[in-house]
Amino acid sequence: MKEKSLEIIREKLHKMKILLAEMEETLNTISGKDVSAPPENLIPRIFVWYEIYLKDGIVDHKEFLEIGEKYGYDRRGLGGFFSWNNPSLKYVGIKNEKIALSKWAADYVETYKEWIEKNIDNYRKQ
């Protein structure tokens, strides 16, 4: 029972952090500060890309799972990174043992790097 209560509180805290980050972004926009956020459909995906980007764009499978979980992804939901015609991640290596960030996803990270670094702690699960 105690664990369930703690999990509920953690989830609510996580949602509050996201809301605060969004409110700060709105205040910045209203006040005229040029702090561009990535498109909403890329959040929290862009944080996963960022973490892989920081590791020279390549991680092993275990690292990828850990990174995904940090941003609220269920392991089953991580397959979306490898789907579509031009996936953001792909398997590489002789035995496909590594996961690499695509060039276009790395470009997004570079475009929004300032915003990512400013907001990453608000989106990271504890």
Q: State the pLDDT confidence band at 32, using cuts at 50, 70 and 90.
A: low
Q: Which amino acid is at 46?
A: I
Question: Residue ranges of the domains in the chain?
Answer: 1-35, 37-121
Q: pTM of the prediction? A: 0.74
pLDDT digits (tens, 9 = 90+) for 59-93: 999 999 999 999 999 988 899 999 888 899 999 99
Order the strands of the 89-92 sheet from edge to edge: 58-60, 98-101, 89-92
In CATH terms, the fold of domain 37-121 is: Arc Repressor Mutant, subunit A (1.10.10)
